[in-house]
Amino acid sequence: MKHSLLTIFCCFLLSSGVFAQEEITLNLVAESITRGEALRQINDGLPVKIFFQEDQLSEAPISLNLQQATVREALDAILENTVLDFVDYRDRVYVIGPTITIGTEFDAAYYAAVAERLAAGEPEATAAGEDGPAYIGTLETLEPNGFAVISGMIEDQNSGEPIIGATIQVENTTTATVTEVDGSYELRLRPGDYTLIISYVGFGTNRRDIKVSGTGTYDISLGQSSTTLQEIVVTEQAADANVGRVQAGVQRLDLAQLEKLPTFMGETDVVRALLLNPGVSSIGEGASGFNVRGGEIDQNLLTLDNGVLINSSHALGFFSTYNADVIKSVDLYKANIPARFGGRLASVLDVQLRDGNFDHFRVKAGIGPVTGKIMLEGPIVKDRSSFIFGARSSYTDWVLNFANVEEVKNSSAFFFDGNLRFTQRVGKNGTFVLQGYGSQDEFTFNNTFAFDYQTMMGQATWNQIFSDKVYGELGLVYSDYTSSQSDLRELTGETVNNGVRQLTVKPVINFDPSDKLQLEGGLEINHYTINPGVRVRSNAESLIIPRALEEEQGLEVNAFGSFDYAFSDRFSISAGLRFTNYRFLGPGTEFQYEDGIPARNRIVDSVRFGSGETMATYNSLQPRISARFRVTSQASIRAGYSRTAQFLNQIFVSDSPTPSSQFQLSTRYIPPFLSHNFSLGYFLNLEDNNVELGAEVYGRQIDQLWDYRDFAEVIVNPSLETEILVGEGRAYGLELSAKRKVGELNGLVSYTLSSTQRKVPGINGGEFYRSNFDKPHNFVMTLNWNPNKRNTLTANFTYGTGRPVTAPVGNYRVESGLFVPVYSERNEVRIPDYHRLDLAYTLGKGYNETKKIQTSWTISLYNVYGRKNAFSVFYTQGPDQSNVANQLAVLGTVFPAITLNIETR
């Protein structure tokens, strides 16, 4: 024999499952054997392939004593004390070469030569399955230096949204990368077998095995993780956002909690969820919109991406116009408004819609006692384009029969809304979005009067990433809001139509030069066309005289810029400046008055302006700034100031604005609203950010506003300025809040102490008086009991001071014998206080995540103890000619509801 001292016991004993994918082990004992012979015996005895060059191996014998060793351990032992090393090239394929070459790795030609000697052909790139790795690229796509470029996208498998900032680590190496703002990543690797470890907050740690032959694409979808060792909570914002946020006076809605809140007739409602926050209130059932820090409902900017909605409510305030199933995020800015927003005085409700799923088709539907809804989403071209569609409709008439007011029982209500959004990815860094929104509302009260209003909106948006520091957006929006109010009685029958059309162009650019500094700038151009009122007869017997006012036009050009800068971990600021040039445009007629002061019966002349001519101009410079100082890691102080201006106002003189109230642009005689807004707060987190506490004081000085004369006539009035008086206002308050985010018992408590007043010459003797929406005390408490992940019991209690009204406080008799009422000062009397308790039980989706169809149930009781809360108080004369107060409660009983939600995965 060739080896004289050879007492070879060369027995290759494979462990159990040797031909499976588990690691192969071997036994190799030899007192004297060459390295080449040892490698050949491994090649011949095991299902592996080892490539090497014989002339690179020394002929000197070595001794081996390998017991249950892996192939890698055997190769390490065979090549010990040599200048050779090996590469784990593919599954059970190993390549040996000089260490210096291994250090720089082989080039593409070397791998090509190896591939030619493989009996099996190169597999094409495939996606990773449950039982195997992903094969990426072929040898022909290798770079000349032997590297392969692996690129792709990391997305949320449920929503299809890109995941920004996910970490991709190549196991047992220092090679790693992080996904960009569009979810993309790129790695440069040598051919071989690797394990990628992908990490992201809320998604746990994910492992993916890959086999790299060459350059290729590998997209990864991540699902939210769960573990029996530690609870993972996915939230809409950072865990310490309560103390870490720089922007003052902002609230982010927790969308995950929406479906668990008690709601009227089981319909998930964004606006009612906002009412849980301090500083946000409503005057009660039957009132559209919401009020922020004493402001009126039309002083809230309601956005839908780049578009603006005129009305936030369906069915006179019972349901929100926002469909929660298609929403990505909801932020409410209370007075301290970023520079990119403008046109309203009190707040911004910034609602962003989400893209459809780019990976798979998904359906979600809900059926309640008065509403039904459906949401569809999925890819058009997988990973490139998607759609999402959401629609809701009501069937409420049967429920009105339960009302405690006979007139309400004889009424009817209907609404519909729909969202459709297409998203197309263009190249690696571009996205084009096309979307539409439509809604329709109809309401008839006791065959006496009716409302009918609708919104149609279309948007096109282009998003472009120019580099890792610069990205921009261009938005184009057209919206058309129309409404009508009808008197259905025979002799006074009329219909008054009005509306607002708006065209918006908004380019924005963002530049992030460093982690500490972010810059934003852009333009916003709004063109308004207002139908101020058209009155027509609603029946042939009506005695009403028809009248139509000429359409009004306004152009609002805004330039804005802002920056966010972190001076240190403790101190950061967010500041901006917005400049507005507003013009009231012709065609139109402007009346001339005696002494230049608008007054009834004092018109002396008129001036006619042609189309596009400027009838009035206003310029407004609006600085905004917020600052945050972290006292400790768990506590911070925030302060903010903003200047705001409003050029479009809602006209109403009733107790509450209605969806058919007309709208008025600023003119020469009707100035814009102008306000200074201040806030200062202290915020504290406890229990590892699970408990959030906040105390904030705010103030608002309105140095320009207007109110109506007593007994003003505003409907289809060509000289509306004669019914308006200009003055000033003020609002201030204290907001307290406490929130426990997770745990078996969690929830929130908020309390607002506030005052909102006005001072207008000609009203209340020129002294301050309460505004229409002044509510000194507002208290909300919501408690959730979660005995487990599937079951939730929620209780919600609301209390608020009754709003102010002007009421008769006496009367006197005139010569004819009639009694004439004597009224109080403006808003001197209050209606009764408001309070209500709601309960809800939610049976969530089952624990089996593999089920294709999942269901959940919500059972709710609205107004549990049947409180007859007053919407308004009206007065009649009793038999003794005294003034008798009558209370109107729209809902005076408990309303139960059961809602079934169905969702496919």
Task: Give the closest residue to 256 by CA, choosing from 224, 302, 303, 304.
Answer: 224
Q: What does the pLDDT read at residue 525? A: 97
pLDDT exceeds cutoff 50 at 222:
yes
Indicate whether 107 pLDDT > 80: no
Least confident of 131-140, 481-490, 566-575, 873-882: 873-882
Least confident piece of the model among 8-17, 114-123, 257-266, 798-807: 8-17
Higher pLDDT, 3 or 49: 49
Share of the chain above pLDDT 90, in %: 34
Residue 584 contacts residue 554 (beta carbons within 8 Å): yes
Class of residue 144 by CB neighbours under 10 A (exposed 0-12, middle 13-18, buried 19+):
exposed
122 pLDDT more than 60: no
Give the pLDDT mean for 156-168: 82
Three-state DSSP at 473 gives: strand
The answer on pLDDT for 116 being more than 70 is: no
Q: Is 393 helix (H, G, I), strand (E, B) or coil?
A: strand
Q: Is the pLDDT of residue 208 over 70?
A: yes
Asked if residue 218 has pLDDT above 60, the reply is yes
Residues 6+ apart with CB under 8 A from 489: 448
pLDDT: is 91 or 565 the higher one?
A: 565
To the question of domain 134-222 being in CATH 3.90.800.10, the answer is no
Where do the DSSP E strands lie in 666-723?
Answer: 673-686, 691-708
Helical axes 35-45 vs 71-78, angle rounded to 10°: 160
Window from 63-77, 235-249, 373-387 with minimum mean pLDDT = 235-249
CA–CA distances in Å: residue 218 to residues 208, 210, 689: 10, 9, 37
Please, are residues 181 and 101 in contact by the beta-carbon 8 Å criterion? no
Q: Where are the alpha helices (DSSP H) in 561-688?
A: none
- Rg of the chain taking only CA atoms, in angstroms: 35
Instruction: Please state, in angstroms and as integers, the Cα–Cα distance from residue 644 to each residue in 300, 342, 490, 578, 771, following that order.
Output: 11, 7, 46, 9, 19
In which band, very low, low, confident or very high, does the pLDDT at 701 lie, cut at 50, 70 and 90? very high
**Is 696 within 8 Å of 249 (Cβ atoms)?**
yes
Residue 901: CB atoms within 10 Å: 23
Identify which of 68, 58, 13, 18 has the alpha carbon closest to the alpha carbon of residue 38: 58
> pLDDT band at residue 128, thresholds of 50, 70 and 90?
very low
Would you state the torsion angle of the CA atoms of residues 254, 257, 258, 262, taken in this order, to the nearest 10 degrees?
-130
- Within 10 A of 762 (CB to CB), how many other CB atoms are there? 12
pLDDT in tens, 783-828: 989 888 788 899 999 999 988 888 777 777 777 767 777 778 888 8
Q: Which of 364, 369, 418 is nearest to 267 (CA)?
A: 369
pLDDT for 585 beyond 90? yes
> Which has more confidence, 888 or 303?
303
Q: Where are the domains of the chain?
A: 25-104, 134-222, 241-904
Whether the predicted pLDDT of 397 surpasses 80: no
Task: Give the integer Cα–Cα distance in Å for 799 and 836.
Answer: 7
Please state, in angstroms and rounded to a whole number, the distance separating the CA atoms of residues 132 and 886: 76
Distance between CA atoms of residues 353 and 338, nearest Å: 19
Which pLDDT does position 103 carry in this prediction? 43
pLDDT of residue 723 exceeding 70, the answer is yes
Token digits of residue 359: 């990976």
pLDDT at 19: 35
Buried b (16+ CB within 10 A) or exposed e, 175-187: eebebbebbbbeb
Domain made up of 25-104: CATH architecture? 3-Layer(bab) Sandwich (3.55)
The pLDDT tens digits of the residues spanning 246-305 come to: 887 788 887 766 766 766 666 677 888 888 889 998 877 766 778 898 888 889 999 999
Q: Rounded CA gap, 860 and 841, in Å? A: 6
pLDDT score for 7 = 33
| Residue range 613-630: mean pLDDT, rounded | 95
Least Cα distance to 829 among 847, 810, 814 occurs for: 810
Q: Among positive and negative, which fits the CA dihedral 161, 163, 169, 174? A: positive
Cα separation, 265 vs 897, whole angstroms: 5
pLDDT for the residue 402: 65
C-alpha distance across the termini of the chain, in Å? 68
Return the structure tokens found at 366: 């809900």
Q: Does the pLDDT value for residue 700 go beyond 50?
A: yes
E strands within 213-336? 216-217, 220-222, 250-252, 280-281, 291-292, 300-304, 307-309, 313-314, 319-320, 327-334
pLDDT of residue 232 exceeding 50: no
3-state SS string for 440-481: EEEEEECCCEEEEEEEEEEEEEEEEECCCCEEEEEEEEEEEE
* Least confident range of 99-103, 470-474, 878-882: 99-103
pLDDT higher than 60, residue 102:
no
Whether residue 447 has pLDDT greater than 90: no
Q: Which comes out higher in pLDDT, residue 639 or 241?
A: 639
Q: Count of alpha carbons within 13 Å of 800, Cβ hemisphere only? A: 28
Q: Which residue has the higher pLDDT, 205 or 475?
A: 475
Task: Compute the distance between CA of residue 790 and CA of residue 635 in angstroms, rounded to an integer.
Answer: 33
Q: Quick one: pLDDT at residue 89?
A: 64
C-alpha 166/C-alpha 465 separation (Å) is 18
Nearest CA to 389 out of 413, 356, 358 is that of: 356
| Separation in Å, CA 671 to CA 296, 612, 711, 760, 791 | 17, 20, 21, 14, 54
Which of 708, 621, 590, 305 is closest to 475 using CA atoms? 305
Q: Is 185 helix (H, G, I), strand (E, B) or coil?
A: strand
CATH class of the 241-904 domain in this structure: mainly beta
What percent of the chain is modeled with pLDDT above 70? Answer: 84
Strand partners, 392: 373, 417
What is the band of 307 on the pLDDT scale with cuts at 50, 70, 90? very high
The pLDDT of 122-128, averaged and rounded, is 41
Res 226: pLDDT: 47
Write down the pLDDT at residue 72: 84
Cβ count within 10 A of residue 526: 22
Residues whose CB is less than 8 angstroms from the CB of residue 168 and which lie 6 or more positions away in sequence, other chains included: 154, 176, 177, 178, 179, 185, 187, 196, 197, 198
pTM here is 0.72
User: What confidence tens digit (pLDDT) does each residue in 645-693 have?
Assistant: 999 988 876 555 566 678 899 999 999 999 999 999 999 999 888 899 9
Per the structure block, which two tokens stand in for 309? 């909605």
- Give me the count of residues in the chain: 905
Nearest Cα neighbor of 465 from 436, 431, 439, 494 is 431
State the average pLDDT over residues 156-178.
Answer: 82
Look at the block and give the residue holding tokens 């050029």: 647
CA distances from 32 to 4, 63, 468 (A): 9, 5, 60
**Cα 265 to Cα 255: distance, rounded to the nearest angstrom:** 19
